[in-house]
Amino acid sequence: MTDSNKVVSAASAATEKDTPARDAPISNSPARLQMSLAAAMTLGLRSGIFYRGATLSCINLLLTYESGCAGSCAYCGLQRQRGGRFSEKSFIRVEWPSFPLEEIIGRIGGHPERVDRVCISMVTHGKAVDDTLAVARSLRPLDAAVSILMAPTVLDRDDIVALRDAGAEIGSVAIDAATEELFDRYRGSAVKGPHKWERYWQCLADAVEVFGERKAGCHLIVGLGETERDMARTIQKVYGLGANVHLFSFYPEEGSALAERQPCPPGQYRRLQLASYLIQNGFTSSEGISYDDSGRISDFGVDPEEVKIVIDSGIPFMTSGCPGKDKLVSCTRPYGDGPPGDIRSYPFTPNMEDIAKIRMELADMGPTPGEYLNMEDNR
């Protein structure tokens, strides 16, 4: 059981009675979908309360198949080499129980005050495009915007157009790695995976063209071995394409090939959260940022007083994701990339105590990526 599960399970104040397990027998999408534990709690399908009153207004859904995902991504809980049934594998730290699509639609329709957005995450599977289209069309009567986390390996530009026409208004791509070398090492030929660096970037460019500027998103994971300079440049590239950056801190998924690797030092993630915010809000660029000899950010190229105001707002350190009806982030993914004791992406506005901790983390240069990865390798 993950730490976040412990937190929610320890809470006895359930808002609704638990729904009986519906995980067996397994069936495939589109009739059945997996749902993040946090989304299931939001809809009253699982009991519990969120640590520090975090909320989520995006229902994160995941296509599910008995044959699983064809990907071999070394850090992913869904990788095909990992043992166990696909529907029982954790993903982004937490369990993803499965429910019939009909019940999901009923729950969302019954709680319009709780739901701003629904995100359908594809997996790399031959039926994923057709099934995502079917799910998106079935969601149209609901008062909720729809995002698609696309699987570039199994779709092309015409499919993206079809997804938009089916009701999706944002399309995202999980490129994840900051460099082509890391992408190939952890997602491509080095792990016998089907994914191609060029295909993923082309899909992101197509998504911007089809959905519109700032209507496409790109997931990037900090801590796969890149330098801060590498990641800042990739953030700049994504922003330059017209897409938004959704940043994650690497977290070791139990049973995955990188299960024994530790997350990156907090300072590395904090500096890149701040850099991402500053770049995407026009304060600086990756070329305007200064780096030390190890590629760590030493100066953001912004007036220190302006940086102080930005840090004190806490906004750069909150979860980055698709917006809700109030234009604020709907997909808060509570504790999805770090446990409550080591919050990486805050699902709420950090308070003064949080900001003090963030300031210390920003100033802690810590080991370089090469140093901490060597430390892990030598354990």
- Tens digits of residue pLDDT in 263-315: 999 999 999 999 999 999 999 999 999 999 999 999 999 999 999 999 999 99
- Please tell me the distance from the alpha carbon of residue 34 to that of residue 53, in angstroms, as a whole number: 24
DSSP 74: T
Give the pLDDT confidence score for residue 94 in this predicted structure.
Answer: 80
Q: Is the pLDDT of residue 130 over 60?
A: yes
The average pLDDT across 356-376 equals 80
* Beta strand segments in 82-203, E: 98-100, 117-121, 145-150, 170-176
Which of 66, 132, 64, 148 shows the shortest CA–CA distance to 331? 148
pLDDT band per the 50, 70, 90 thresholds, residue 372: low
Give the pLDDT confidence score for residue 229 in this predicted structure.
Answer: 98
- Residues 6+ positions from 168 with CB-CB distance below 8 Å: 120, 136, 146, 147, 148, 211
- Residues 6+ positions from 255 with CB-CB distance below 8 Å: 77, 82, 83, 84, 89
- Please tell me the distance from the alpha carbon of residue 102 to that of residue 182, in angstroms, as a whole number: 40
Percentage with pLDDT > 70 across the chain: 87
The average pLDDT across 108-123 equals 96
- Please tell me the distance from the alpha carbon of residue 2 to that of residue 198, in angstroms, as a whole number: 35
Q: Is the pLDDT of residue 235 over 90?
A: yes
Give the pLDDT confidence score for residue 27 in this predicted structure.
Answer: 83
Structure-block tokens of residue 237:
């590239």
As to burial, measured by CB atoms within 10 angstroms (0-12 exposed, 13-18 middle, 19+ buried), residue 345 is: buried
Average per-residue pLDDT for the chain = 90
Angle subtended by helix axes 197-211 and 228-241, to nearest 10: 40
Q: Is the pLDDT of residue 7 over 80?
A: no
What per-residue string of b and e applies to 246-256 under the rule 16 or more CB within 10 Å gives b? bbbbbbbbeeb
Give the pLDDT confidence score for residue 45 in this predicted structure.
Answer: 96
Largest CA distance in the chain: 59
pLDDT band per the 50, 70, 90 thresholds, residue 254: confident
Q: Which of 5-19, 21-35, 237-251, 275-289 has the lowest mean pLDDT?
A: 5-19
Give the pLDDT confidence score for residue 213 in this predicted structure.
Answer: 98
Contact criterion met (CB below 8 Å) for 47 and 16:
yes
Q: Is the pLDDT of residue 17 over 70?
A: no
Q: Is the pLDDT of residue 51 over 50?
A: yes
Give the number of other Cβ atoms within 10 Å of residue 169's Cβ.
15
Cα 69–Cα 193–Cα 231 angle in degrees, nearest 5: 100
Give the pLDDT confidence score for residue 46 in this predicted structure.
Answer: 95
Which of 170, 168, 166 shows the shortest CA–CA distance to 208? 170
For strands 170-176 and 145-150, give the pairing: parallel
Give the pLDDT confidence score for residue 255 in this predicted structure.
Answer: 84
The enclosing H or E element of 247 equals strand 244-249
The average pLDDT across 338-359 equals 97
SS3 (DSSP) at 180: helix
For strands 58-63 and 117-121, give the pairing: parallel
